[in-house]
Structure 1
């Protein structure tokens, strides 16, 4: 699943960062309550929700996969037959590393990444706004 969706999630996140940034830029130039402001606001929220879904569920899978090892250890696996104990030991070793989905194998898809995405979008927006204001003053 990681190999199938990794590149697509990366592209989605990058496009969403750019879309949020430019939509915010458009929203700064129109009046509050105007139809263009409202449609831009709805579009920006849709972009945010798309990223939120990837990041929320990626984070949820990561934290839940960390709990599997503890749950297996807390069971009565040591009372089982020898073959079952061996299987449990192998599974517990495998479960020591959490499942982490990545975007193009560059960065993890979790809530920390969502925070980074929002900060990056705002930073790009601030740069755009500064450049736009400087060009309009001249």
Structure 2
């Protein structure tokens, strides 16, 4: 089993690597969440303007826009995973769960 001392340079490098990877995933998820929120706001923005005073052509255009944005815009990773804050939390929880299992296995094997 691979054991790395906390005071070692290799541990520091792995910590920096892990932090950079988590920041990269967090940035993608943050902007994916922002994109979803902004796409949801388009419908309410179309409704809040004085659409009833607009020409019939513009009213029809607003209806078309509102119909098209009913389904929110979503960023996906590899076409499978939605990139949003809920996904980020799942990634963090799963990472910690895997770490806890590995740590538990290590302590069980070393102290028995």
Q: Same fold (TM over 0.5)?
A: yes
Aligned residue number for residue 119 of structure 1: 93
Shift of 1:46: 0.4
Deviation track 1:83-119 (CA, whole Å, cap 9, x = no partner) reads: 2111111111222221122234433210111011000
CA separation in 2, counterparts of 1:85 and 1:72? 10
Q: Larger % of helix: which?
A: 1
- Aligned CA-pair RMSD: 1.9
Unaligned runs of 5+ in 1: 1-24
Q: Does 1:76 align with 2:50?
A: yes
1:56-81 per-residue CA deviation (whole Å, 9 max, x = no partner) reads 00000001111111111111222222
Larger Rg: 2
Give the match for residue 128 of structure 1: 102
3-state SS of 1:36 partner:
helix
Hey, what does 2:11 align to over in structure 1? 37
What count of residue pairs does the alignment treat as equivalent?
Answer: 111
Instruction: Give the Cα–Cα distance (whole angstroms) in 2 for the partners of residues 79 and 93 of structure 1.
Output: 20
Counterpart check, 1:57 vs 2:34: no
- Runs of at least 4 residues off by over 3 Å: 104-107
With structure 1 as the length reference, what TM-score do the two structures score? Answer: 0.72
Q: TM-score, normalised by structure 2?
A: 0.86
| Unaligned ranges ≥5, structure 2 | none
Q: Aligned partners of 2:98, 2:79: CA distance in 1, in Å?
A: 23
Per the alignment, residue 102 of structure 1 pairs with: 76
